[in-house]
Structure 1
Amino acid sequence: MSTPLPSGMRLESTNTETHGQVKGLIEATKTKIARLTVQIRELEFLRERERDVLAALRLMIVPIGQLPTELISEIFKLAVHTAVLKTATREGIWPVSSTMYASTRAALHKALCLSQVCGHWRRVAFSTRQLWAEGVVDIHFNKGMTDPYLDGFKSLLTRSTPYPLSVSLVGSDTAAVDSLRRIADIIVPTAYRWRNLRINMESFRHFNDISLGTFEALERLYIYDFSEQTSPVTAFQSCPRLREFTLKSGEESKMYLIQVPWQNLTHLNIYDESLGGCRTALLQCSNLTSATIATSYDWDFAPGGVDSPIIVLPFLETLKLTFYGFVEGDIDGIAAFFMPLSLPSLKSIDLEFNPNEDETWPRAVFSEFQNRSPKLQEIALLFSSIDASGLIALLRHGPSLQTLDIQNSWSCVGEDFFEALYYDQADSAPLAPKLENIHLESVGDDFEEIYLEDAIRSRWWKDGERLLPDNSPPRVSRLKRVWVAGRFSDELKARMKELVPQGLDLYLA
Structure 2
Amino acid sequence: MYVDKGHIQSLMEAKRTSISNLASQIQDLMRLREAEINELAALQAMISPIAKLPTELLAKIFHLVVPPEGFWDYDMDITNKVVDAAHRVSQVSRYWRQIAHGTPQLWVDGFSFDASERATKLTLEQTRAWLERSYPLPITIYFSCRMEGQDTSFATTELFTTLLSTTQRWRHVIWDIHHLFPLCGLPPGSFEALERFSIESMDIQRPPEGLDIVLAAPQLREVAIYIRNDRGSQSHMLGLFRIPWNQLTHLTLGENLSFEDCRDIILQCISVRSIKIRATLWDESSLSLTPVVVVLPNMETLEFHQSYGLAGIAIGHLFACLALPALKSLELSVDGLEEEILTWDAGLFSQFQDRSPNIERISLCASVVPVHADNLIALLRHSPAVAEVTIYDCQIDDAFVRGLEVHQNDPQVLAPRLVNLDLTYSVRDGDVTPSDNALEAMIRSRWWPDASTPHRTSRLESVTIHRGRAPNTHGHPGLQRNLAALREQGLKLSIY
1:304-315 to structure 2, matched below 5 A, reads 306-315=289-298
| Equivalent in the alignment of 2:382 | 397
Residue 490 of structure 1 and its aligned partner are, at CA, apart by 4.5
- Unaligned 5+ segments in structure 1 are 1-52, 87-95, 467-472
| Equivalent in the alignment of 1:430 | 413
The answer to whether 1:134 aligns with 2:112 is no
Counterpart pick for 1:325 among 285, 298, 308:
308
Cα gap change, 1:117 to 1:442, in 2 (>3 Å) = closer
Deviations 1:5-58 (A, max 9, x none): xxxxxxxxxxxxxxxxxxxxxxxxxxxxxxxxxxxxxxxxxxxxxxxx999977
Residue 105 of structure 1 and its aligned partner are, at CA, apart by 3.2
Deviations 1:146-182 (A, max 9, x none): 4443333333323332122111212279556486253
| Equivalent in the alignment of 2:80 | 105
Q: Equivalents in 2 of 1:474, 1:283: separation in Å? A: 41
Q: Equivalents in 2 of 1:291, 1:368: separation in Å? A: 20
Residue 429 of structure 1 and its aligned partner are, at CA, apart by 2.4
> Which of the two has higher C-alpha Rg?
1
1:317-396 to structure 2, matched below 5 A, reads 317-326=300-309, 332-358=313-339, 360-383=343-366, 385-396=370-381
| Equivalent in the alignment of 2:14 | none
Q: Equivalents in 2 of 1:464, 1:313: separation in Å? A: 37
Cα gap change, 1:64 to 1:420, in 2 (>3 Å) = same
Q: Is the 8 A contact 2:312 2:344 kept in 1?
A: no
Q: Equivalents in 1 of 2:347, 2:62: separation in Å? A: 56
| Equivalent in the alignment of 1:278 | 262
Cα gap change, 1:58 to 1:190, in 2 (>3 Å) = farther
- Two-structure CA RMSD over aligned residues (Å): 3.6
| Equivalent in the alignment of 2:273 | 289
1:21-170 to structure 2, matched below 5 A, reads 61-64=43-46, 71=54, 75=58, 78-79=61-62, 81-84=65-68, 98=73, 102-113=77-88, 123-126=98-101, 128-130=102-104, 133-170=107-144
Residue 452 of structure 1 and its aligned partner are, at CA, apart by 2.8
1:171-186 to structure 2, matched below 5 A, reads 171=145, 175=151, 177=153, 180=156, 182-186=158-162
Cα gap change, 1:69 to 1:216, in 2 (>3 Å) = farther
Q: Equivalents in 2 of 1:301, 1:356: separation in Å? A: 16
| Equivalent in the alignment of 1:458 | 445
Residue 220 of structure 1 and its aligned partner are, at CA, apart by 1.5
Q: Equivalents in 2 of 1:55, 1:174: separation in Å? A: 59
Q: Equivalents in 2 of 1:181, 1:58: separation in Å? A: 49
Residue 301 of structure 1 and its aligned partner are, at CA, apart by 7.7
Letter in 1 for 2:222: E
Once the two structures are overlaid, the 10-residue window that deviates more, 109-118 or 382-391, is 109-118
TM-score, structure 1 normalization: 0.75
Once the two structures are overlaid, the 10-residue window that deviates more, 150-159 or 114-123, is 114-123
Cα gap change, 1:76 to 1:478, in 2 (>3 Å) = closer
Counterpart pick for 2:225 among 231, 247, 254:
247
Cα gap change, 1:212 to 1:458, in 2 (>3 Å) = same
Residue 379 of structure 1 and its aligned partner are, at CA, apart by 1.2
**Which secondary structure state, in structure 1, belongs to the residue aligned with residue 217 of structure 2?**
coil
Q: Is the 8 A contact 2:293 2:322 kept in 1?
A: yes
Once the two structures are overlaid, the 10-residue window that deviates more, 434-443 or 395-404, is 434-443
Cα gap change, 1:209 to 1:65, in 2 (>3 Å) = farther
Cα gap change, 1:71 to 1:102, in 2 (>3 Å) = farther
TM-score, structure 2 normalization: 0.76
Q: Equivalents in 1 of 2:284, 2:187: separation in Å? A: 33
| Equivalent in the alignment of 2:216 | 238
Letter in 1 for 2:198: Y
Counterpart pick for 2:480 among 493, 498, 501:
493
Q: Equivalents in 1 of 2:93, 2:389: separation in Å? A: 59
Residue 374 of structure 1 and its aligned partner are, at CA, apart by 0.5
Q: Equivalents in 1 of 2:154, 2:440: separation in Å? A: 74
Q: Matched residues, percent identical?
A: 27
Letter in 1 for 2:464: W
Aligned length: 436
| Equivalent in the alignment of 1:194 | 170
Q: Equivalents in 2 of 1:460, 1:433: separation in Å? A: 12
Q: Is the 8 A contact 1:361 1:385 kept in 2?
A: no
Q: Equivalents in 2 of 1:504, 1:493: separation in Å? A: 12
Deviations 1:104-162 (A, max 9, x none): 13333444455556666555554x05156333211222322444433333333233321
Q: Equivalents in 1 of 2:450, 2:88: separation in Å? A: 59
Q: Is the 8 A contact 2:312 2:343 kept in 1?
A: no
Cα gap change, 1:301 to 1:431, in 2 (>3 Å) = same
Q: Is the 8 A contact 1:217 1:241 kept in 2?
A: yes
**Which secondary structure state, in structure 1, belongs to the residue aligned with residue 224 of structure 2?**
strand
Residue 310 of structure 1 and its aligned partner are, at CA, apart by 0.5
Q: Equivalents in 2 of 1:157, 1:418: separation in Å? A: 59
Q: Equivalents in 1 of 2:485, 2:92: separation in Å? A: 64
Q: Is the 8 A contact 2:115 2:177 kept in 1?
A: no
Q: Is the 8 A contact 2:363 2:390 kept in 1?
A: yes
